[in-house]
A and B are shown apart, each in its own frame.
Chain A
Amino acid sequence: MVSWFCKIFPNVVNLGWLGDTGWGTSIGQTLYMTFWSAIFGGLLGIIFGIVLVLTNSNGIRPNHFWFNFCDKVVSIFRAVPFIILLAFIEPVTEKIVGTKIGIKAALVPLTLGVFPFYARQVQVALESVSHGKIEAAQSLGATIWDIIFTVYLKEARSELIRVSTVTIISLIGLTAMAGAIGAGGIGNTAISYGYTRYDNDVTFIATVLIVIMIFIVQVVGDFFAKKLNHQNR
């Protein structure tokens, strides 16, 4: 089995497990980038999503200025292609993490690249909470925080998990590009050690690994989205 694998995928085996070019290293880098940018981008996205819903003209705190501000920020960042964003915000990256290359430097563009996408999806998810439930909470004298946490976030939680799954999947896609600024990861392995060296077996295995990762995220996401759903839709 092992010798068979070495025969068909010689270059894959040559890259090794640990070390600079190793598979374990690149998997770890992808997970690291996905995890931290999901946390930072997720927080930003949730905050923007909530503000968009609350300050919208039919929201519970209509505010033209803040709605427009968040709306424009989200739209602008969404409009910039990620690979260009990587280069474009380099100076900001350096200010925040102290370097413009490497895995830490990739977190800044990844966060900024994913949060507007997530913010829009959070906005849609929260708007799916019926206005009646908000009214009911208001009629009980609930505070704005009660409405955000107990009504919006809790009632939409299944939908939020669903959109988070989609976001994490597209985030894994973005990490593949982060190799362009030396952040490593599986995508980088596929391009640098597979594509540019004409080692197609490396590209193939890298692809399989990414697909497996995405598959796991999807299955786990679907499981919780279903389990935590008590809505009658």
Chain B
Amino acid sequence: MAIIELKHVNVDFANHTDKTVHAVHDVNLSIEKGTIFGIVGFSGAGKSTLVRTINLLQKPTAGIIKVNGTEFIKDGQQIITNKNLQIARRKIGMIFQNFNLLNEITVIENVAFALKHSGLKEKEINAKALQLLELVDLKDKANFYPIQLSGGQQQRVAIARALANEPDILISDEATSALDPQNTQQILSLLKKLQQELNLTIVLITHEMAAVKQICDQVALMQLGEIVEQGNLHDIVLRPQSDLAKSFVGGSGAVINTLKSLKLAELKDNEVIYQLVYSMANVTKTIVIDLYREIGVEASMLYGNVELLDGEPIGTLLVLVKGNPTKQEATLKFLKEANVTVTRLDEKGNLYG
């Protein structure tokens, strides 16, 4: 059963110039219990606005919102009382890009703050807060102030705080975007671990496809307030349909950076750059060599990478193929038959055309 259901959700903002901005437009999402659901898009796509409707930090202008069997919003109207919303929110944890810890109280007090209305006695609250800090491996920092901690540590405190009331859902709003790669890895692994141990449902918003690839089961791609494509991660990565999905799967940070640093001159007429994504299990052939042998085109490698997607190795290759139009056509046909997802890019790493 879906733990989060959004139906025809709209969020409109009145602009200063009397224009209405559709931050979220007719979004339908159904998130199953126990999954890690990624919502990906460039900044300004409406991702944050959309997830904020789940715990009503953002009131939608239209639609239905149902969380954990309780209807919050029906036909755009709030039908849960504010008091009950407060209680319901305790079962929906949330972490933020800027951590949003309270700076004037200590780490343990930050966690204890979440437990203020838990009905526990002060002693029990403290014990539980310590236990939560232990879960994120920060028990020794209990009496520090947030400012004395690194970004990654602050985010772990925020996770402990968000999990204090034993929520069923954890919303992560760009939680790793302000962190360096090492801390990002740490937080993502922690989220994955917690998800499994506590049977959490995690909604993860990010603009980094790498984070999604690492931990998500399901993914939705968002652009201009709408969900453009959604499905399980494996399908989206290997068979992206929309341009947005292709640019995210394809134009991932590493690929674009590689192309930028190569500073390629403008491509000649007989040169084409392809990004090839394929499951290693399906493709045992040696693609680059086969292209030369069977079709007679030269394919020079610009970038190569293999990553694990839920345990399955997925290869990404960036190749520059030289050959006349007929041979280019044959190349495409060959690659498609070999079960390779082909995305044509220009010399700057953008989608071609």
Contact = CB atoms under 8 A, between A and B. Distances in A.
Contact of B94 (A136, A146, A151, A157): A136
B87 A130 contact: no
Interface residues of B, number: 32
A196 interface: no
Contacts of B55: 139
A138 B57 contact: yes
Contacts of B254: none
Considering residues A136, A230, A232, which has the most beta carbons from chain B within 10 angstroms of its beta carbon? A136
B104 A155 contact: yes
B145 A141 contact: no
A222 interface: no
Interface stretch (B112-120, B132-140, B341-349): B112-120
A135 B92 CA distance: 13
A150 B94 CA distance: 19
B103 A140 contact: no
A142 to B, nearest CB: 7
Nearest to A136: B100
Nearest to B116: A146
Interface in A132-158: 132-133, 135-143, 146, 150-151, 154-155, 157-158
Contacts of B283: none
A3 interface: no
Nearest to B52: A135
Contact of A154 (B57, B86, B105): B105
A157 B104 CA distance: 8
Interface in B205-221: none
B223 to A, nearest CB: 24
Contacts of B88: 141
5 contacts: A132-B98, A139-B55, A140-B162, A146-B116, A228-B104
Interface of B: 52, 55, 57, 86-90, 92-94, 96, 98, 100-105, 113-114, 116-117, 145-147, 158, 161-162, 164-165, 171
